[in-house]
Structure 1
Amino acid sequence: MTEIEPFPVSIPEHDLDDLRARLDHVRLPEAETVRDGTQGVGVDRLRSLLDAWREHDWRSVEQRWNALPHFRTRLDGLNIAFWHVRSPEPDAFPLVLTHGWPGSVLEFESMIGPLTDPVAHGGSAADAFDVVVPALPGFGFSERPSELGWNPGRTARAWAELMTRLGYQRFGAHGGDWGAYVSTELARLAPERVAALHLTMPIASPLPEDVATADDAEKAMIAKRDMFMRTGPTHVVVQSVLPQTLGYSLLDSPAGLAAWLSQGLVGFSDTRPEAGGGVSVPQQIDDIALYWFTGTGASAARWYWESVRWVPHTAAAQNAQTVTVPTACTLFPAEPFPVAKRWAERRYRNLTSWNEREYGGHFPGWEQPGVLVSELRDAFRRSRDR
Structure 2
Amino acid sequence: MPDDLPRPEPFVPQTTPAELEDLRRRLRATRWPDAPDAPEDGGWAMGTDVGYLRELVAYWADAFDWPAQEAALGRLNRFRVPIGGLGIHFVHARAVAPAGPVLPLVLSHGWPDSFWRYTKVVPLLTDPAAHGADPADAFDVVVPDMPGYGYSDRPTGPPLDSIAVAGLWARLMSVLGYERFGAAGGDIGSHVSRYLALDHPDRVVAVHRTDAGVPVFSGDPADLAPEERAWLEEGAAWGRTEGAYAAMHRTKPQTAAAGLTDSPAGLAAWIVEKMRAWSDCDGDIERAYTKDEILTNLTIYWLTGTIGSSMRMYRANGAIPPAQLARRVEVPSGFSLFPGDLVRPPRAWLARTANAVRVSEPPRGGHFAAFEEPELYAEELRAFFRPFRAAATA
TM range (shorter): over 0.9
1:238-277 to 2 correspondences below 5 Å: 238-272=248-282, 277=287
Q: Structure 1 CA distance, aligned partners of 2:220 and 2:378?
A: 36
Larger displacement relative to structure 2 (141-150 or 277-286) = 277-286
What is residue 29 of structure 2 aligned with on the other side?
A: 25
What is residue 55 of structure 2 aligned with on the other side?
A: 48
1:4 aligns with 2:37: no
| Deviation digits for residues 3-26 of structure 1 (CA, Å, limit 9, x no counterpart) | 211111111211001001111111
What is residue 113 of structure 2 aligned with on the other side?
A: 103
1:231 aligns with 2:235: no
Q: Structure 1 CA distance, aligned partners of 2:338 and 2:118?
A: 16
1:87 aligns with 2:95: yes
Report if the CA contact (8 A) 2:149-2:310 is conserved.
yes
Report if the CA contact (8 A) 1:85-1:131 is conserved.
yes
What is residue 76 of structure 2 aligned with on the other side?
A: 68
CA RMSD after TM alignment = 2.1
Larger displacement relative to structure 2 (36-45 or 254-263) = 36-45
Distance 1:376 1:333, change over 3 A: same
- The TM-score normalised by the length of structure 1 is 0.93
1:365 aligns with 2:377: no
5+ unaligned residues in a row in structure 2: which ranges? none
The alpha-carbon deviation at position 210 of structure 1 amounts to 6.2
What is residue 140 of structure 2 aligned with on the other side?
A: 130
Q: Structure 2 CA distance, aligned partners of 1:24 and 1:276?
A: 23
Secondary structure of the corresponding residue to residue 147 of structure 2? coil
Secondary structure of the corresponding residue to residue 195 of structure 1? strand
Partner of residue 85 from structure 2, selected from 73, 77, 85: 77
The alpha-carbon deviation at position 358 of structure 1 amounts to 2.4
Report if the CA contact (8 A) 2:163-2:195 is conserved.
yes
Distance 1:149 1:31, change over 3 A: closer
Report if the CA contact (8 A) 1:32-1:43 is conserved.
no
Larger displacement relative to structure 2 (24-33 or 170-179) = 24-33
Report if the CA contact (8 A) 2:166-2:195 is conserved.
yes
Distance 1:164 1:335, change over 3 A: same
Q: Structure 1 CA distance, aligned partners of 2:284 and 2:275?
A: 18
1:322 aligns with 2:334: no
Larger displacement relative to structure 2 (191-200 or 51-60) = 51-60
The alpha-carbon deviation at position 142 of structure 1 amounts to 0.3
- The TM-score normalised by the length of structure 2 is 0.91
Report if the CA contact (8 A) 1:278-1:361 is conserved.
no
Q: Structure 1 CA distance, aligned partners of 2:163 and 2:306?
A: 21
Secondary structure of the corresponding residue to residue 325 of structure 1? strand
What is residue 13 of structure 1 aligned with on the other side?
A: 17
The alpha-carbon deviation at position 317 of structure 1 amounts to 6.1
Secondary structure of the corresponding residue to residue 324 of structure 1? strand
1:335 aligns with 2:341: yes
Identity of aligned residues (%): 37
The alpha-carbon deviation at position 287 of structure 1 amounts to 0.5
Secondary structure of the corresponding residue to residue 197 of structure 1? strand
1:345 aligns with 2:351: yes
